[in-house]
A and B are shown apart, each in its own frame.
Chain A
Amino acid sequence: MIVLQNLTKKFGSFVAVDNLSLTVPQGEFFGFLGPNGAGKTTTIKMMTGLFTPSSGSIVVNGFDVQNQALEAKASIGYIPDQPFLYDKLTGREFLYYIGGLFNMPKKKIQERVKELVEHFEIGDWVDKRTEEYSQGMRQRVTITAAFLHDPKTIIIDEPMVGLDPRSARIIKDSLKQKSLEGVSIFMSTHSLEMVEELCDRIGIIKDGKLIFIDTKENLHHHKSNYDGKLESVFLELTK
């Protein structure tokens, strides 16, 4: 479960996120949309501890991200917009590294790596250095790392960058499955199709402010006021 309350982030005089409040219940797949520079990545970075909020609070799975940062982070699986890895490590070493940071026992890491490498079809690449990886392979390893410790909440920033259609399908199915298992998913994306296909609820942010939030069912009602396309709703709202 994720609760954002009056969340604000300022960079000097620029307000990137402005008094944002929303709740994502346990097991919900939440789609976070917005034009470039709207504040999506900034919000996600605050939720994962990469940015400190200027004001407001974030509670993830009952833990305040600022005051109980370690507990909160232990329950989150984070997939950033750019899959930056340590170039000199192999994929397997990187996954063991992440497992260690999450205090996982070696045996558990071994089991999960075997299972997830097979699931995400990483194959022999897992034993090659990540500097030799394509963007898509890096993304798969990053997603594997986020799934490794069975988090209660997954936070994703643009998950489909660089993925081929088959990989994208695997990731979508995996995320949907996780959501059905009770994992909360907070996903920022530009892909309206993906939002329509996967999300239970959708929020749209513009200039740091939440301008729309509703369920997929109600969204269909909004769409009928336009030409039946989510794209038209999005373009109208973010105009």
Chain B
Amino acid sequence: MTFSLNVQSLIKNVGSFIVFGSFAVGAFFFSRFLTAYLLEDVKIGLFLFHRFMSMLLFVFFITISLGNMVVSYSTLYRSPEVHFMLTRPIPHLTIFIIKFLDNFFYSSGTLFLAGFSVLLGYGSYFGFPWHFYLWVMLGVLVPFMFLAGCTAVIILLVLMKLASKINFKMLIGLLALFYVVQIYLYFHLTSPIDLVREVMRYYPNVNLYFGQLDPPVSNYLPNFWISQIFFFYATGNQTAVAGYCALLLLSTAAAFIALVVAGDRLFYSTWITSLTFKSFSIKKFEFTGTLFSFEKRSHFSPQNESILKKEYWQFLREPSQWIHLVVMLLLVCTFLSSVTSMDFGLQDPKLRTAVYLVVYIFDAFLITSIALRFAFPMMSLEGDAYWTVRSSPLSASKVYWTKFLIVLVPFTLIGLALAVLSNIPYILLSPLPQVTTAGMGFIAAALVSLNFGLGSYFVNYDEKNPIRIASSQGATLTFLLSIVFLVVLVIVFFFPILAVFNSIYYEIPKKISWLYYALAVIAFLSAVVGAVSHSIGVKALSRDV
């Protein structure tokens, strides 16, 4: 037996460990700091704190559900591996369950890590015993995520069953509408602004339980059960904790049984349908516009034109690509429609700064998610046909920069639009909106650069599924680096923005120069992130293929 040390692999693994470890530690401290800040400095009270947690968990549930649905569609219905396995004497239910579990654990690794680190931070603030974390991780967090995954795949099976009967475009429209309406109804019914006002009327007795303010529909939502488990654990009501835990576990078990039954009855028949559905979708999604026709002349150089048009048609003719983008943009629009009309009527400068930064960072987080999903896999999606590029008379850097521009321009514009619209409630606080919007331009460009550059470095021409590429180890590392970058942004912007709100509250002159210094730091950091990412990315494209 020989032992050979692959230095590159070792460096990569050590690097991964450092980044994952740093992320876990960062998430722990951030969670602990945020819990302490909200409960001690801002004094929102235990009830509001756990209701905000419930809202975040609702978004978390929807994200897991959507992610599992899209990944499951690709792996259950579009994968050559499933195609091959179905030709072997293996029961289709076994294939279905194995692929479902594979999807779930493959795409949830980072979320488990993030969830556990946040949980540690939250629990350590309250000084909970060690067994709390073990129990919550295995008995609460994992079942919650599993419930989201099961629900998503049951919906997917039903959709695939309906796909043979209903117009596909209408079906996708209905699905998108279903998610948007869910989000709208949830925030409409729970009404966070009214909730804050109602609870604050009882100040300073804000640690009491205000269950009468919860809409009845909340009782049916898993995110609500979890927030109740944490609230009652923190307030020492063990009976209520046991009740909500039992409800969650029973619901998860029921969802899994329903999934198995649905998989047994629907998977094979819908898989057969999907074979005809593939050719159906080709015809239905035949984009035949002549605007970007290859035969038409353009002002670009022939090489740039070829790459641009190829990317355009490949994107538009792959429904899983543009449908996912449309769904993500719908979520962005839903978020924006809520943010632009958001006014908590808050006066406290620290709380206003926190709310402002949370919205601002969430804008950047949306760009991170979009960049990870679309910019990161871009080079890998060249696939086996990449030989055409490498054997043609154009340099690797030209390919790199042309493809980079394709993602840079739209995603930076989305970032700017998010920043402009999120700043509507602060329009009178000039130059805060202008500075943070300009900052978002730099941030979005850096995030797209990071995802595209590292996507080129971790390129995998063998993987055809963009969602699996965006869930790979390299993608997870990139995502964590993006989060670290966002945390740095919070640190850079916190005091200058706090100074703006302080100047209003205490009626003192604004320290405008602080904002400009922060913008300069953001611009510098973004340039460094961009330069390093591009340097790594371009160099990686010269590797053997």
A: residues with CB less than 8 A from B are: 12, 45, 48-52, 69-71, 73-74, 76, 78, 80, 82, 84-86, 88-89, 92-93, 96-106, 110, 129, 131-132, 145
Contact = CB atoms under 8 A, between A and B. Distances in A.
Contact of A102 (B314, B318, B392): B392
A173 B383 CA distance: 32
Contacts of B544: 45, 50-52
Contact of B306 (A88, A97, A129, A145): A97
Given A50-B391, A50-B545, A101 B303 contact: yes
Contacts of B306: 96-101
Given A86-B314, A93-B313, A98-B388, A106 B394 contact: no
Interface string B386-417: 01111111110000000000000000000000
B71 to A, nearest CB: 20
Interface in B280-318: 282, 294-295, 297, 301-303, 305-306, 309-310, 313-314, 317-318
Contacts of A110: 295
A73 B393 contact: yes
Given A70-B395, A97-B309, A88 B314 contact: yes
16 contacts: A51-B544, A73-B392, A73-B393, A84-B387, A86-B383, A86-B385, A92-B295, A93-B294, A93-B309, A96-B306, A98-B388, A98-B392, A102-B393, A103-B301, A106-B295, A129-B282
Contacts of A85: 385
A103 B384 contact: no
Contact of B391 (A78, A82, A93, A104): A78
A12 B6 CA distance: 9
B542 interface: yes
Given A52-B544, A88-B317, 9 more contacts: A48-B390, A49-B391, A78-B387, A80-B387, A86-B383, A100-B302, A101-B306, A101-B393, A106-B295
Contacts of B542: 52
Contacts of A12: 4
A103 to B, nearest CB: 5
A103 B545 contact: no
A56 B150 CA distance: 57
B309 A76 contact: no
Contacts of B313: 88-89, 93
B383 A101 contact: no
Interface residues of B, number: 31
A102 B391 CA distance: 10
A142 to B, nearest CB: 9
B393 A50 contact: no
A89 B314 contact: yes
A50 B318 contact: no
Contacts of A101: 302-303, 306, 388-389, 392-394
B285 to A, nearest CB: 10
Nearest to B296: A106
Interface in B505-545: 542, 544-545
A88 B318 contact: yes
Nearest to B389: A101
Nearest to B383: A84
A97 B294 contact: yes
A10 to B, nearest CB: 11
A145 to B, nearest CB: 8
A225 to B, nearest CB: 39
Contact of A86 (B301, B303, B310): B310
A24 to B, nearest CB: 18
A86 B312 CA distance: 12
Given A97-B309, A100-B306, A101-B306, A48 B393 contact: no
Contact of A103 (B309, B388, B391, B393): B393
A99 B295 CA distance: 11
Contacts of A88: 313-314, 317-318
Contacts of A129: 282, 317
Contacts of A76: 391
Contact of A82 (B303, B318, B384): B384
Interface in B109-142: none
B390 A96 contact: no
A86 B309 CA distance: 12
Contacts of B318: 88
Contact of A89 (B310, B392, B395): B310
Interface in B370-394: 383-385, 387-394
A84 B385 contact: yes
Contacts of B395: 69-70
A49 to B, nearest CB: 6
A76 B301 CA distance: 21
The 7 A-B residue pairs with the shortest CB-CB distance, nearest first, are A100-B306, A84-B384, A96-B294, A101-B392, A74-B393, A88-B317, A100-B302
B393 A71 contact: yes
Interface string B309-336: 1100110011000000000000000000
Contacts of A104: 302
B387 A100 contact: no
Contact of A49 (B282, B314, B317, B390): B390
A78 B390 CA distance: 11
A21 to B, nearest CB: 21
Contacts of B305: 100
A132 B286 CA distance: 14
Contacts of B317: 88, 129
Nearest to A42: B544
A74 to B, nearest CB: 4
B394 A70 contact: yes
Nearest to B306: A100
